[in-house]
Amino acid sequence: MSELLYIKDLKVYFNTEEGVVKALAGVNFEIVKGSFHGLIGETGCGKSVTGLSILKLLDNNALIEGGEIIYKDENLLDKTEKQMQKDFRGNEIAMIFQDPGSSLNPVFTIQDQIQESVKMYKKASKQEYRNIVIEELKKVKLPDVEGLLDKYPHQLSGGMKQRVMIAMMLACNPNLLIADEPTTALDVSIQAQFLQVLKNLKDKFDMTVLYITHDLAVVSEICDYVSVMYAGRIVENVPVRELFKNPVHPYSYKLVHSVLGVKTFLEDLEEIPGSVPRLIDPPSGCRFHPRCEEAIDICKTKVPQLKKIGKNHYVACHRR
């Protein structure tokens, strides 16, 4: 078993008017080639920042403080912007974003935007491009593909836009697809369809997917491995079955047990007291300690490191 991507001790800070926000304070996980890897955590815990760091598409005020992002034996953090653009973005790693509405350029047609992805590696005639785009749109199971070509994003529904977005990214032929909460903006009924499309595509084209979400139900449905994130750190890396059978970290435990109730979204959890800490002034030691019932003194002072406790199973907790 080999890993496609390996993130080691990634630290990302943001300069804001109120001060430095330590959004990522040591993120560690690896993504197995061909797997469906979930990254789960509450809103604001740094999931999206992690995803954007891989492509180095963070906002201007972000600062990558340290760590490594190893993709196919190359450290992406050493690459220049030009190298990232030429060798990695699109053709190796692509990303679909939370809000399909704002991720498609409003002034270009669907065909134009998908065609751009193709043009980067293939010269073809106008008609050939058109056919390729049609093929790409068919892959994501969109109806009436020909009619879509000359439409503009605002003329499509949210679900359709998200599929167009996938088609646009898949047209680049990536090996790794990062999906940043792609179903948040969609209706619940469309979410299931969308996930099915994504899963089929992954299998068919032998891709690896990093799926960022705060929805545990989605994780249980499609992921092979899961990284649980809390306030800028990974607290547990675990195969998905293990997570539901035997969640080790107190945070993971609460997550899993709350999902058995009616509420599935972490935001609505009442079982976990307190809320995500402000990352401008994070708690010392284990960042979860203020909300943890099992916290002891060492939790307040020392940052717990990830340690192996089973096959592909790592946890960062002083009490385990």
Partner 1 sequence: MSNRKKYWTNKIIRTIITAIGVTLIAFLILHLTPGDPARIMLGSYASEENLEAVREKYNLNEPLHIQYWAWVSSLAKGDLGTSIRYNRSVNTLIKNRIGPTLVLTLTGLIISVVLGVVMGILAALKRNSWLDYLTTVQAIFWISIPSFWLGILFLYIFGLQLRWVPIAGMVSYTSVILPALSLGLRQEAWFARPMRAEMLEVLNQEYIRAAKAKGLKYYIVVTKHALRNALIPIITMLALRLPWIIGGSVVIEVVFSWGGIGSLLVNSVKARDYPVVQAILLLISIAVVLANLFADIIYTWVDPRIRTEG
* Torsion, CA 141, CA 147, CA 149, CA 152, rounded to 10: -100
x/- site string to partner 1, residues 25 to 54, per CB under 8 A?
Answer: ---------------------------x--
Q: Which is nearer to partner 1, 62 or 299 (CB)?
A: 62
Q: For residues 129-188, which are near partner 1 according to CB under 8 A? A: 152, 154-155, 165, 168-169, 172
Any contact of residue 123 with partner 1 (CB under 8 A)? no
Q: How far is the CB of 41 from partner 1 (least distance, A)?
A: 21
- Beta carbon of residue 90, minimum distance to partner 1 (angstroms, whole number): 3
Our CB check for partner 1 shows the closer of 61 and 196 to be 61
Assigned token pair, 2:
């080999």
**Nearest distance from C-beta of residue 97 to partner 1, angstroms:** 6
Nearer to partner 1, 1 or 107 (CB): 107
CB of 5 to partner 1, least distance (A): 16
State in angstroms the smallest separation of the CB of 178 from partner 1: 8
Closer residue to partner 1, CB minimum distance, 20 or 192: 20
The three-state (H, E, C) secondary structure of the chain, written as one string: CCEEEEEEEEEEEEEECCEEEEEEEEEEEEEECCCEEEEECCCCCCHHHHHHHHHCCCCCCEEEEEEEEEECCEEHHHCCHHHHHHHHECCCEEEECCCHHHHCCCCCCHHHHHHHHHHCCCCCCHHHHHHHHHHHHHHCCCCCHHHHCCCCHHHCCHHHHHHHHHHHHHCCCCCEEEEECCCCCCCHHHHHHHHHHHHHHHHHHCCEEEEEECEHHHHHHHCCEEEEEECCEEEEEEEHHHHHHCCCCHHHHHHHHHHCCCCCEHHHCCCCCCCCCCCCCCCCCCCCHHHCCCCCHHHHHCCCCCEEEECCEEECCCCC
Tell me the closest approach of the beta carbon of residue 191 to partner 1, in angstroms. Answer: 20
Q: Among residue numbers 58 through 117, which ones bind partner 1 (CB under 8 A)?
A: 59-60, 81-82, 85-86, 88-91, 94-95, 97, 99, 102-109, 116-117
Q: How near is the Cβ of 224 to partner 1 at its closest, in Å?
A: 24
Site for partner 1 in 177-196 (CB under 8 A): none
Cα–Cα distance for residue pair 238/230, rounded to 1 Å: 14
The burial class, CB within 10 Å (0-12 / 13-18 / 19+), for 88 is: buried
Footprint of partner 1 on residues 291-310 (CB under 8 A)?
Answer: none
- Residues 223-262, mask of contacts with partner 1 (x by CB under 8 A): ----------------------------------------
Count of residues that bind partner 1 according to CB under 8 A: 35
Q: Which residues bind partner 1 (CB under 8 A)?
A: 52, 55, 57, 59-60, 81-82, 85-86, 88-91, 94-95, 97, 99, 102-109, 116-117, 120, 152, 154-155, 165, 168-169, 172
